[in-house]
Amino acid sequence: MSADADTRSATEVRPGATQAGPAVGAQKDTRRDSFAARLRRDWPLLVMAMPMLVIVTAFWWVPALGNVIAFQDYNPFSGGILGSPIIGFTNFAQLFGDPQFIRAVVNTVGITAFQLVFYFPVPIALALLLNSVVSGRLRAFIQGVVYLPHFFSWVLVVAIFQQMFGGAGLIAQILRDHGHAGIDWMTNSDTFILLVTAETVWKDAGWGTIVFLAALSTIDPNLYEAAAVDGARRWRRMWHITLPGLRPVIVLLLILRLGDALNVGFEQFMLQRGAVGSKVSEVFDTFVYWSGLRTGDFGYGAAAGLFKGLVGLALILVANRVAHALGERGVYSRS
Amino acid sequence: MSKTKVSGLAPWEEPGSAAGRIGKGGVLALIALAVLLPLYTIVLTSLSSADTVNRAGGLVLVPDGITFDAYRQIFSDSVVSRAVLVSTGVTVAGTAVSLGVSVLGAYALSRPGTLFHRPILFCVLLMFVFFPGLIPTYLMVASLGLKDSYWSLILPSAVSAFNVVVLRAFFMNIPRELLDSARIDGAGEFRILWRIVLPLSKAVTAVIGLFYAVGYWNAWFNAMLFIDDTRKWPLALILRSYVVDSNPLPTATVGVNGFGHVAPPTLAIKMAIVAIAVLPALIIYPFVQRHFTKGVIIGAIKG
């Protein structure tokens, strides 16, 4: 379905080239060539695609199909994937009765919703701010600085936050020097959602501005001039020109985010689960790891993973449909 | 007229109020500080003596003598230096494999209408919308006998659908006539890719290479899953164990010096490991930075 995405783009069918003409013409499309002729023509491309296909097959298709163990009482030692008994939806039934799983779902959805409000607008605001910086050199410098944390691993980001906000961190240290009680936000489960959101902002908000800055640069400057001549001042111009110009990108990213709602950053939560406890930090992916892989209950963990994968798939398809209904381009289109 | 030019404003643009400009400057300074201050104090702490760290009661903000003791200790110890080697090796080999496979695959997919174009594209695009799951992937790697092999750190993450699509979109924009004329001159597909397409796509290839390299350098979870032998751990996993969890590794000798037993690493040593982990990104970054927009935008639009 999504393969139809952009295959129908410009270069494809050329009405003039129905007959395989002389050498050059043959290179233009013809679906009507015989299979053998196309194979003769395109085999080098197939060879080139081969390494990619092998890897995708081995580490995507086979595992994707390997999800059948979600319906099995899977035992790697007796029987494996072919010999383990099929138990239908038992794993799933057990899953929906597992309080830890429910907690993972609630936490995941809660964190996504929270970050939609407190993270999503940050890159937009930052992009508007950067865009309003008149000096090109200053803007390039700030951009360079704010993109940087995107390239740090989560381990680093958590380590850095630990050194800033942890019990022995910089803030606690400064507070203690001035006679206050120290703080430890790294192990405080009440403020955990603020902490992970702050980490996400620090790491990715700068990087997130790229798309918005690019969209801003495509807005016709004459619009601003015309509006200014008509007496619209800064804020009005932003409201009536800039924000409408950003709308398609905002909608697109919002949809992508909704389609991705079940992914809240696996590594980030894995790393901090020990410090704050599983009550607030258990999300889908950590649940799969801790109750499937760690315990060796592979079938059960696979059921949780498959559930997440399918819900995620459905969310993306629905989000895209909504985008089209709203008249936006969506994630993939059919034209 | 000349005045407006100096300030960079368009002639019709009203200059901002003084308060507004000061406010904006303040916010920008805060943002820059939020990124740079942690890096500054981490590097400074890693370069400080144990005395200075003790006196500061933690991270060092004001420099008071520079010493490379922490780095010397780290590199005299086999655990961290091994990990740096492992990470470097995995990053170099992984980036080469990923980039090679992705460039070939993207070029193969860059011409709609060729044989099996749609099914192959479908295979790749499906990766965007469905993640097969941690456990089946783990079982696959285990059943291929890749546990405790460095390949387990490379192959499962070797192909990123996003990167393939970005490269493909770029290749598709290369004028067809150029490729056709090369073909008339008798060049085969491999030759065209190597001699014409790649030289025209240096920037995007560099950005994708950076994305892959950063991914490999930063990865720790695959190593935690697949590598039981701590001597084969990459730096990111050492970082997690040492710094985030403050565990002494069983085989570590950092911290043994002077005590005779394994103690948790000192703050300076922790920060030195953090600094080493950040370093490669900081070095490559300026060279690739200006190409970011292109790579990311194409991906965002086509993805």
The ipTM assigned to this model is 0.83
Which residues of chain A make contact with B244, given a CB cutoff of 8 A? Answer: 155, 158-159, 162, 271
**pLDDT range class, residue B7, cuts 50, 70, 90:** low
> Is B244–A173 a contact, with Cβ atoms under 8 angstroms apart?
no
For residue B238, the chain A residue with the least C-alpha distance is A155
Which residues of chain A make contact with B217, given a CB cutoff of 8 A? Answer: 153
Over range A170-195, report the average pLDDT: 86
> Is A48–B108 a contact, with Cβ atoms under 8 angstroms apart?
yes
- Between B220 and A9, the more confident residue is B220
Cβ(B24)–Cβ(B30) below 8 Å: no
The SS3 call for residue A326 is: coil
Q: Out of B38, B105, B292, whose CB is closest to A49?
A: B105
Spatial distance between the Cα atoms of A219 and A247, rounded to a whole number of angstroms: 12
The SS3 call for residue A161 is: helix
Domain ranges of chain B: 19-67, 76-302
- Between A136 and A52, the more confident residue is A52
Helix (H) or strand (E) holding A249: helix A243-259
Which residues of chain B make contact with A149, given a CB cutoff of 8 A? Answer: 35
Which range has the top average pLDDT, A73-77, B234-238, B293-297? Answer: B234-238
pLDDT of residue A184: 85
pLDDT tens track for A118-169: 999 999 999 999 988 878 888 888 988 998 999 888 988 998 898 888 888 8
The SS3 call for residue B140 is: helix
Q: For B190-222, give one letter per residue: b (16+ CB within 10 A) or e.
A: eebbeebbeebbeebbbbbbbbbbbbbbbbbbb
Which residues of chain B make contact with A24, given a CB cutoff of 8 A? Answer: 180, 183-184
- CB proximity list for B10: less than 8 A, separation 6 or greater: A221, A224, A225, B4
Whether pLDDT at B259 is above 60 = no
pLDDT of residue A118: 93
> Is A63–B245 a contact, with Cβ atoms under 8 angstroms apart?
no
Closest-CA distance of chain B to residue A332, Å: 7
Whether pLDDT at A55 is above 90 = yes
Average pLDDT score over chain A: 82
Q: Out of B16, B57, B218, whose CB is closest to A173?
A: B57
> Is B120–A53 a contact, with Cβ atoms under 8 angstroms apart?
yes
For residue A176, the chain B residue with the least C-alpha distance is B57
pLDDT of residue A232: 83
Q: Out of B13, B123, B220, whose CB is closest to A153?
A: B220
> Is A214–B9 a contact, with Cβ atoms under 8 angstroms apart?
no
Nearest to B49 by CA among B31, B28, B64: B64
> Is A48–B7 a contact, with Cβ atoms under 8 angstroms apart?
no
The SS3 call for residue B303 is: coil
Chain B, 218 to 247: residues with Cβ < 8 Å from chain A are 218-221, 225, 236, 239-240, 243-245
- CB proximity list for B2: less than 8 A, separation 6 or greater: none
Nearest to B301 by CA among A331, A241, A156: A331
> Is B135–A301 a contact, with Cβ atoms under 8 angstroms apart?
yes
**Cβ neighbours, 10 Å, residue B3:** 9
Cβ(A272)–Cβ(A184) below 8 Å: no
For residue A297, the chain B residue with the least C-alpha distance is B135
> Is A145–B32 a contact, with Cβ atoms under 8 angstroms apart?
yes
Whether pLDDT at B130 is above 80 = yes
Over range B284-303, report the average pLDDT: 63
Over range A231-255, report the average pLDDT: 85
Of the listed ranges A68-72, B134-138, B153-157, the least confidently predicted one is A68-72
Percentage of residues of chain B with pLDDT beyond 70? 88
Whether pLDDT at B295 is above 60 = no
pLDDT of residue A170: 84
pLDDT of residue B60: 82
pLDDT tens track for B206-218: 889 988 999 999 9
For residue B15, the chain A residue with the least C-alpha distance is A234
Whether pLDDT at B287 is above 80 = no
- Between A334 and B229, the more confident residue is B229
Q: Which CATH superfamily is domain B76-302 in?
A: MetI-like (1.10.3720.10)
- CB proximity list for B100: less than 8 A, separation 6 or greater: A51
Q: What residues does CATH 1.10.3720.10 cover in chain A? A: 91-325
Spatial distance between the Cα atoms of A157 and A195, rounded to a whole number of angstroms: 11
Mutate to test the interface with B, among A14, A41, A52 (most CBs of B within 10 A): A52
Which residues of chain B make contact with A152, given a CB cutoff of 8 A? Answer: 218, 278, 281
Whether pLDDT at B278 is above 80 = yes
Cβ(A335)–Cβ(A8) below 8 Å: yes
Q: Out of B7, B34, B302, whose CB is closest to A134?
A: B7
- Between A15 and A81, the more confident residue is A81
> Is A58–B277 a contact, with Cβ atoms under 8 angstroms apart?
no
Closest-CA distance of chain B to residue A63, Å: 5
Over range B86-108, report the average pLDDT: 96
B101 touches chain A (CB under 8 A): yes
Provide the token pair at B138. 């783990």
Which residues of chain A make contact with B16, given a CB cutoff of 8 A? Answer: 234
Q: Out of A59, A153, A270, whose CB is closest to B137?
A: A59
Nearest to A2 by CA among A327, A326, A325, A321: A321
> Is B139–A270 a contact, with Cβ atoms under 8 angstroms apart?
no
**pLDDT range class, residue A7, cuts 50, 70, 90:** very low
CB pairs under 8 A between A and B: 305
Spatial distance between the Cα atoms of B15 and B18, rounded to a whole number of angstroms: 9
What residues form DSSP beta bridges with A86? A72
Spatial distance between the Cα atoms of A145 and B185, rounded to a whole number of angstroms: 48
Which residues of chain A make contact with B129, given a CB cutoff of 8 A? Answer: 2, 259, 312-313, 316-317
Closest-CA distance of chain A to residue B301, Å: 8
Cβ(A107)–Cβ(A319) below 8 Å: no
Which range has the top average pLDDT, A102-106, B72-76, B283-287? Answer: A102-106
Nearest to A258 by CA among A209, A331, A327: A331
Closest-CA distance of chain B to residue A119, Å: 15
pLDDT of residue A332: 52
Which residues of chain B make contact with A298, given a CB cutoff of 8 A? Answer: 135, 139
What residues form DSSP beta bridges with A72? A86
- Between A152 and B248, the more confident residue is A152
Spatial distance between the Cα atoms of A329 and B12, rounded to a whole number of angstroms: 34
Q: Which CATH class is domain A91-325?
A: mainly alpha
pLDDT tens track for B142-179: 989 999 999 999 999 999 998 998 899 889 888 888 88
- Between B86 and B61, the more confident residue is B86
Over range B286-292, report the average pLDDT: 75
**pLDDT range class, residue A21, cuts 50, 70, 90:** very low
Token pair 């939806």 is found at: A89
Cβ(A112)–Cβ(A193) below 8 Å: no
pLDDT of residue B93: 97
B111 touches chain A (CB under 8 A): yes
pLDDT tens track for B176-208: 888 888 888 888 889 999 999 999 888 889 889
